[in-house]
C-alpha cells in the first residue's frame, strides 16, 4: 500500500497495482493557440502551463507500473453520437463538426482532436474516445477498469471544471477512490479551477482528494513492479 500523507483533505492511500492514471482530453483543439478553445476566445495559457506536470505524472505512472489511460472528447464524422443539445452549444461562432482551424471541430481523426504530441500515448495504452464530458458515459471505460482490477484513479487533464470534474464525479459514484493532480489540471478560468479543487475535497473528500504532482511522484517513487 502506498500513501500521500500531504494530500488534501487528508492522507490518500492506494495500492499501485490497483491504480490507474486517467489523462483527460489533452487535445490540440483545447490547448494549442489556434485551436477550437482559442477560437472561442479563451486564453489557452493556463492549459499550456500544465503540460510539463502532466508529462511528469505520465512518466512516474509508467515507471511505477500503473495503467495509463488517455481520453479524447470527440465525435464520429457523421455526428451520430452527438446529441442535438450538445451540437447547439458554442454557437454562434464555432460548433462541433464545423470546419475549424485544425480540421473539423472535435471530430475523430481530425488534427485538432489528437492528443498533444508531447503527451502521446505509448504503444498499448488505451485511448478512450468519449462523446460526453464524463469519460464513463457511452464508453468502454468501466469495463476496462473492471478488467484491470482498478480501484483507485489518479486524474489529470483539461478542463478542470468540465470533463475532469465530470469524470471524477462519475468515478466517485462508481466506487473509485479518486485523486486529482492539482498542477496537472487546468481551466481557461482559473477561478473555476480553484473552486473545483475546493469542492472536490470539501466535506471530508466528498468527491475525492487532491495533491501536487511532486507529492504523487514521491509516493510512486520506488513502486515499480518487478
Ligand atoms: C470542454 C473538456 N471544456 N475536455 N471539454 O468542453 O473539458
Residue with the smallest CA separation from ligand 1 atom 2 is: 163
The answer, yes or no, to whether residue 156 has pLDDT greater than 70, is yes
Spatial contact of 20 and 70, defined as CB atoms under 8 Å apart: no
What is the average per-residue pLDDT within 132-155?
98
* Model confidence pLDDT, tens digit, residues 185-208: 999 999 999 999 999 999 999 999
What is the pLDDT confidence band of residue 224, given thresholds at 50, 70 and 90?
confident
- Residue carrying C-alpha cell 457511452: 138
What is the average per-residue pLDDT within 44-64?
98
Nearest atom, ligand 1, residue 164 CA: 7
Q: For 108-130, b where at least 16 C-beta lie within 10 A, e where not — what string? A: eebebbbbbeebeeeeeebebbb
pLDDT at 90: 72
pLDDT at 93: 73
Look at residue 188 and give its three-state secondary structure.
Answer: coil
- Tell me which residue of 138, 133, 58, 72 sits closest to 107, measured CA to CA: 72
Q: Say what angle helices 165-173 and 190-205 make with each other, to 10 degrees.
A: 20
pLDDT at 225: 55
pLDDT at 91: 67
d(CA 186, CA 209): 16
pLDDT at 153: 99
| 178 assigned to active site | no
What is the pLDDT confidence band of residue 92, given thresholds at 50, 70 and 90?
low
Dihedral sign of CA atoms 86, 105, 128, 1 in order: negative
- Tell me which residue of 15, 20, 16, 40 sits closest to 30, measured CA to CA: 40
Report long-range pairs for 141-149 (Cβ below 8 Å, ≥24 apart).
141/69, 141/71, 142/174, 144/69, 145/20, 145/176, 148/20, 148/67, 149/17, 149/18
| 82 assigned to active site | no
pLDDT at 40: 85
Q: What percent of the chain has pLDDT over 90?
A: 90
What is the pLDDT confidence band of residue 101, given thresholds at 50, 70 and 90?
confident
Q: How far is the CA of 86 from the centre of ligand 1 (A)?
A: 12
Average pLDDT, the chain: 96
d(CA 66, CA 19): 6
Residue 129's H or E segment, with its range, is strand 127-130
pLDDT at 142: 98
pLDDT at 34: 85
| 78 assigned to active site | no
> Which position among 29, 82, 130, 193 bears the catalytic label?
130
What is the average per-residue pLDDT within 50-69?
98
- Residue carrying C-alpha cell 490497483: 18
Residue 142's H or E segment, with its range, is helix 141-148
Sequence-distant (6+) residues with CB within 8 A of 84 are none
d(CA 157, CA 24): 4
163 lines ligand 1 (CB under 6 A): yes
Amino acid at each position: 500500500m502506498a500513501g500521500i500523507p500531504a494530500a488534501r483533505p487528508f492522507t490518500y492511500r492506494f495500492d499501485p497495482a490497483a491504480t490507474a492514471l486517467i489523462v483527460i482530453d489533452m487535445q490540440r483543439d483545447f490547448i494549442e493557440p489556434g485551436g477550437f478553445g482559442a477560437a472561442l476566445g479563451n486564453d489557452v495559457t493556463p492549459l499550456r502551463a500544465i503540460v510539463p506536470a502532466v508529462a511528469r505524472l505520465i512518466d512516474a505512472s509508467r515507471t511505477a507500473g500503473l495503467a495509463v489511460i488517455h481520453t479524447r472528447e470527440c465525435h464520429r464524422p457523421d455526428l451520430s453520437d452527438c446529441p442535438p443539445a450538445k451540437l447547439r452549444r458554442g454557437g454562434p461562432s464555432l460548433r462541433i463538426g464545423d470546419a475549424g482551424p485544425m480540421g473539423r471541430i472535435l471530430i475523430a481523426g481530425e488534427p485538432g482532436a489528437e492528443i498533444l504530441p508531447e503527451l502521446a500515448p505509448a504503444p498499448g495504452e488505451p485511448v478512450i474516445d468519449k462523446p460526453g464530458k464524463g469519460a464513463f458515459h457511452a464508453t468502454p471505460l468501466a469495463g476496462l477498469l473492471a478488467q484491470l482490477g482498478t480501484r483507485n484513479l489518479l486524474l489529470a487533464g483539461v478542463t478542470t471544471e468540465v470533463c475532469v470534474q465530470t469524470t471524477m464525479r462519475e468515478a466517485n459514484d462508481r466506487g473509485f477512490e479518486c485523486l486529482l493532480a492539482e498542477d496537472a489540471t487546468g481551466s481557461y478560468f482559473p477561478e473555476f479551477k480553484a473552486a473545483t479543487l475546493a469542492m472536490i475535497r470539501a466535506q471530508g473528500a466528498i468527491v475525492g482528494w487532491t495533491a501536487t504532482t511532486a507529492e504523487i511522484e514521491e509516493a510512486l517513487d520506488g513502486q515499480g513492479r518487478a
